[in-house]
Amino acid sequence: MSGICEGRVVVITGAARGIGRGYALEFARQGAKVMINDLGGEMDGTGSSTGPAGQVVDEIRSMGGEAMANGEDVSDFDGASKMIKAAIEGFGRIDVLVNNAGILRDRMLVNMTPEEWDAVIRVHLRGTFAPSHAALEYWRERSKAGATNDARIINTTSPSGIYGNVGQTNYGAAKAGIAAFTVIAAMEVGRYGVTVNAIAPAALTRMTENLGMGQQAAAVPADQFNPLAPDNIAPLVVWLGSLESGGVTGRVFNVMGGHVSVAEGWVEGPAADKEGRWDPAELGEIIPDLVARAAPNADMRGLRT
């Protein structure tokens, strides 16, 4: 197997199903060696495998590719470190980390429990931080030793995080945090030969089928292109993981079906400057005018309507 990721070593979290599974298969088709991390799989990469992660490993091997499964909890700092070390020991190095693991605990804010908040924040935010930290330790040490890296971190944010969606304050807050994490990390780690980007995907998965996407996808005839198919997200992520993407870092991309766009972050809008301290009473005439002149927030499609 050969392609734009020939010989690259890729670690993908949450890779046993849905969008992550599509990543794993496409990276393999493009010549990469792939570690499939998922809590549903407890494999060491040898012999036949069982469980969701193992099934993806078997599928890649049947294609002639190289893959191993990993069952570490990536929101656990030690578990994430063990995962990265296992990839390095198994494949000799790591070139790409795709942080894709996630869960949902949707609830209106007034009804949300602390446990529902903490679980989502932990899996998404800590589950992005911990693997990234472990991989960066490896790349930094290589850089200090005089080696050259051409490495990638690809994170997963969401339209809920960068545009907003009712009932997902925990999920949206985590995903907004990941977008900010991406921009800042890119500023910090370029010196080590590492780029950091993120995607905000829209596709039909187990996590989105209850948000109306199941009905939309079912309405597409079987012989036509389905823009909500999860495999459509993989091409962009695989390209970002390739050597071709070295000049792109610190960006967030929207992707659904064949549509790809760059998400443009917060910018300063209409402003007023008194060049001194405001009296609160003065702002009654200022703030409504600024808001009236400001562009509206984008909708879930990233569009201002």
pLDDT at 215: 53
- The residues near 130 (Cβ < 8 Å, ≥ 6 apart) are 74, 75, 76, 77, 79, 80, 81
Report in angstroms the alpha-carbon separations of 296 from 57, 258, 292, 305.
46, 26, 9, 8
Residue closest to 34 by CA, chosen among 18, 50, 22, 51: 22
Which secondary-structure segment (H or E) carries 260? strand 259-263
Surface-to-core class of residue 264, CB atoms within 10 Å of its CB (0-12 exposed, 13-18 middle, 19+ buried) = exposed
Domain spanning 9-263: which CATH class is it, in words? alpha beta
pLDDT tens per residue, range 60-86: 999 999 999 999 999 999 999 999 999
- C-alpha of 261 from chain center: 15
Q: Of the residues 158, 160, 242, 245, which is catalytic?
A: 158
Task: Using alpha carbons, list the distances in angstroms from residue 193 to 33, 100, 105, 190.
Answer: 20, 22, 36, 5
Q: Could you give the CA distance from residue 52 to residue 212 in angstroms, rounded to a whole number?
A: 25
**Catalytic member of 75, 138, 171, 242:** 171
Tokens read off for 173 = 């807050």
DSSP-H helix ranges across the chain: 18-29, 51-62, 77-91, 114-121, 127-144, 159-162, 169-189, 213-218, 234-240, 283-293
CA atoms lying within 13 Å on the CB side of residue 295: 11
Query: What is this structure's pTM?
Result: 0.90
Amino acid in position 288: P
Domain spans in the chain, listed from the N-terminal domain onward: 9-263, 270-305
For residue 171, indicate whether it is catalytic.
yes
Calculated CA dihedral for residues 284, 288, 289, 295, nearest 10 degrees: 160
Rounded to whole angstroms, how far apart are CA atoms 56 and 24? 8
Q: Which one of the listed residues 143, 175, 242, 245 is annotated catalytic? A: 175
Residue 212: predicted pLDDT: 54
Residues of the chain with confidence (pLDDT) below 70: 1, 40-50, 205-222
pLDDT tens-digit readout, 141-173: 999 999 999 999 999 999 999 999 999 999 999
What is the structure's pLDDT at 48? 33
**Which pLDDT value is given to residue 49?**
45
**Cα–Cα distance measured from residue 263 to residue 159, given in angstroms and rounded to the nearest whole number:** 10
C-alpha–C-alpha distance, residues 292 and 275, integer Å: 22
Q: pLDDT tens for residues 83-113?
A: 999 999 999 999 999 999 999 999 999 999 9
Q: Check residue 203 and give left, alpha or beta (phi > 0: left; psi -120 to 50: alpha).
A: beta
